[in-house]
Chain A
Amino acid sequence: MTEFLENINLSPLFISLRTGVISIIFVFILGLAAAVLVMRLPRRAKWIIDSLLTMPLVLPPTVAGYLLLLLFSLRRPLGAFLDSSLGISFVQTPAGCVLAASVIAFPLMYRNARAAFEQVDVDLLYAGRTLGMSETSIILKIAIPEAAPGLCSGGILAFARAIGEYGATSMLAGSILGKTRTIAVAIASEVSAGNYGAAGFWTVIIVIIAFAVILSVNLVTGRGMKQSVRWS
């Protein structure tokens, strides 16, 4: 057993966590900002923009991966430009892991944030206006605190999604051990190499992480859980 554990390269765990942490920073801010902007749109525009922003949630991740490759491949204009002038490349790099995970996790954050904002009594925002508060401080001091439990649970779910991302990551960032191989990618690689033991190890790890995430969502929205209805 100890021999088995010693033979496992733990780098996928750290790469997954690093990818998750960096992604959630971007995703939390962008998802929140997108939700605030969409809340201000007229109804019809809201439907359309909302649908577009939710797309990555329902598309197969491989489609997102393909589209990302189409944009950022070094043989494409944008990818070549970023590589030559800024030295940023998303193909087969850790940055690619973060980008793929962020794109896939974004809708979870965005949708949860929007749902949380929808629940905020609009009279509170009106009250803020008639009291002379600026639109920015109404968002920062009223809307976001009122929606905080929903925002946090959205953030945690998006973090979990970012850690577990496989499809888009494997297409854009590949499976380079110690560089871009995340846990989810490692499971696929180990299975295809016939190493069911290692794949099983990573599966156990990911199950533990998933359970911890769901538990923390329930703790964060604890107020809701305490008052939750029991059908009995």
Chain B
Amino acid sequence: MAVDIAIKKRLGDFTLDIKLCSDSARLGILGTSGCGKSMTLKCIAGIERPDSGHIIVNGRTLFDSEKHIDLKPQKRRVGYLFQSYALFSTMTVKKNITAGARGSRREKQKRAAELMESFELTDCRNKLPMQLSGGQQQRTALARLIASEPEIVLLDEAFSALDAHLKERLQYEVLGFLKKYSLPAVIVSHDRDEIYKLTDSAAVIDSGAVCAYADTKTLFENPGVATAARITGCKNISPVKKLGEYELFALDWGLRLRTVQRIDESIRFVGIRAHDIQALKSGTENSIPADIISVLESPFEITYIAITPGGGQIWRKLSRDERIVPHTDGYLYLPPEKLLLLR
């Protein structure tokens, strides 16, 4: 798949200005709610119209304001999986699926039967959407979408409304179906785990613009910019003053830090993931006294919040089995190789 998007759209005070070029099978778009990621998907599907720019999918121009191309949603062959699934409530599962199928009546019936078989919906083919479980609803929506033979699938927060235990199973299921039908996808979410699990490359959108784009693993390893670091889940970010080629001062933490990477002029922030912080018995370089003010426990990990000499907080996360007794006499160590230098 290749997606080439460059669109602008004004919405009151908000301006959407997205430039994104990707050739990975599954592209993720990560952002907080209201950042414009859903609007971007709606523009690709043709539900919303950008003010200017172009949208090219697999070499097919869906929209180009200069060439006056604006294909109808019906002609775009873009499958849209809505967060609420948008199943037609008055139609049975079978009718929902045939509603999207192409071809003659006979072909539609055949295609629907095949899809219901492979999506394990045959037993509930005569049920209405409200009689289905959450998983069956999502499978129906997906089967309906695949029946329309799209060239690309857009997932708009498709898992966000689900209970945690169901979410992981359905993510796995959907990923399987996308692979089985070799369907490229653009996956929009505010959930970084979802993006990390499902996509090959990912973009971070902040207030209407792409602030970082890379293949997913690289992006999470080093997001490059502070906003992207925060959105990809980096808990500790501080503005910095550069002291030398490999030394900086983290203003929020009141801490002098040595780095492995060279610090260039564009670096404005330093960050470190909560999991990368270590504990030491005595103070060394890149460490501060562990003045722990709060402990948050969740089923599989534990978070210590420490207050720093600079007044800012540092969060440290440990998985359950590494659990240590919080101590006030030790030090928190920020390994130089784990520091993220951010613009």
Show the binding face of A for B, using Cβ within 8 Å.
Answer: 121, 123-124, 126-134, 141-142, 145-146, 148
- B90–A148 contact, CB under 8 A? yes
CB closest chain-B residue, reference A131: B100
CB closest chain-A residue, reference B95: A141
CB closest chain-A residue, reference B144: A131
Main secondary structure of the interface of A (DSSP, over half): helix
Total of A-B residue pairs, C-beta within 8 Å: 64
Contact with A along B67-95 (1 / 0, CB 8 A): 00000111111111010101011110000
Nearest CB on A from B138, distance (A): 14
A121 contact from B86, B99, B100, B144, Cβ within 8 A: B86
**Known contacts being A130-B45, A132-B102, is A145 close to B80, with CB within 8 Å?**
no
**Known contacts being A142-B88, A146-B88, A148-B90, is A126 close to B47, with CB within 8 Å?**
yes
**Chain A hits for B150, CB < 8 A:** 130
Most buried by B among A131, A145, A146: A131
Most buried by B among A121, A124, A130: A130
CB of B46 within 8 A of chain A?
A: yes
Q: Whole-angstrom distance between the alpha carbons of A131 and B144 in the complex?
A: 8
Q: Whole-angstrom distance between the alpha carbons of A123 and B145 in the complex?
A: 14
Nearest CB on A from B179, distance (A): 22
Nearest CB on A from B277, distance (A): 43
**Chain B hits for A123, CB < 8 A:** 82, 84, 86
Nearest CB on B from A193, distance (A): 52
**Interface bin, chain B:** 20 to 34
CB closest chain-A residue, reference B42: A126
CB of B313 within 8 A of chain A?
A: no
- A131–B90 contact, CB under 8 A? no
- A126–B45 contact, CB under 8 A? yes
Nearest CB on A from B121, distance (A): 17
- A124–B86 contact, CB under 8 A? yes
CB of B148 within 8 A of chain A?
A: yes
B100 contact from A124, A132, A134, Cβ within 8 A: A132
- A129–B99 contact, CB under 8 A? no
CB closest chain-A residue, reference B97: A131
Contact with A along B127-157 (1 / 0, CB 8 A): 0000000000000000011001010000000
CB closest chain-B residue, reference A120: B89
**Chain A hits for B145, CB < 8 A:** 130-131
- A133–B99 contact, CB under 8 A? yes
Nearest CB on B from A40, distance (A): 15
| Top 10 A-B residue pairs of the complex, sorted by shortest distance between their CB atoms | A131-B100, A129-B73, A127-B86, A145-B90, A123-B86, A130-B80, A131-B148, A126-B47, A132-B74, A123-B82
**Chain A hits for B91, CB < 8 A:** 141, 145
Contact with A along B198-226 (1 / 0, CB 8 A): 00000000000000000000000000000
- B47–A128 contact, CB under 8 A? no
**Chain B hits for A128, CB < 8 A:** 88, 99
**Chain B hits for A126, CB < 8 A:** 42, 45, 47, 73, 80, 82, 86
- B74–A134 contact, CB under 8 A? yes
Give me 30 A-to-B residue pairs in the complex whose CB atoms sit less than 8 angstroms apart, sorted by A's number.
Answer: A121-B86, A124-B86, A124-B88, A126-B45, A126-B47, A126-B73, A127-B82, A127-B86, A129-B46, A129-B74, A130-B46, A130-B73, A130-B78, A130-B79, A130-B145, A130-B148, A130-B150, A131-B99, A131-B100, A131-B148, A132-B77, A132-B100, A132-B102, A132-B148, A133-B100, A141-B88, A141-B91, A145-B88, A145-B91, A146-B88
